[in-house]
Amino acid sequence: MTEVDPHQLQTIVSLLDVMVQDNSIPRNVRARLAEAQEKLKHANDMDVAISSAVYALDEVSNDINLPMHARTMIWNLLSELESLKND
């Protein structure tokens, strides 16, 4: 099981929260982001939670209606999650 830096995880969860509250992001994307956030906050198995969040973020990053600022934030979050997975 992956040992995760709690500060780094909290930063990711906080950024997801900012995005979930952003009304310029389509509702379906915000719903997927909220799901990823919940999985990370309440994970029994952090490896599975991180992989699930990566999958969800990767999926929504291709949404045609996603504003560019949100796409950039999602890519940054993906990078952070991948680094957690590889540690």
Output DSSP code: residue 61. Answer: T
| pLDDT band of 2, cuts 50, 70, 90 | low
CATH of the domain at 45: 1.20.1440.50
Q: Residue 86 has what pLDDT?
A: 76
Residue-number span of the structural domain to which 75 is assigned: 6-86
Q: What pLDDT digit, counting tens, does each position of 7-33 carry?
A: 899 999 999 999 999 999 999 999 999
Residues 78/82/84/87 CA torsion (nearest 10 deg): -160
Please say whether the beta carbons of 33 and 20 come within 8 A. yes
Q: Residue 15 has what pLDDT?
A: 96
* Structural domain includes residue 1: no
* Structural domain includes residue 12: yes
The count of structural domains within the chain is: 1
Q: What pLDDT digit, counting tens, does each position of 49-85 carry?
A: 999 999 999 999 999 999 999 999 999 999 999 988 8
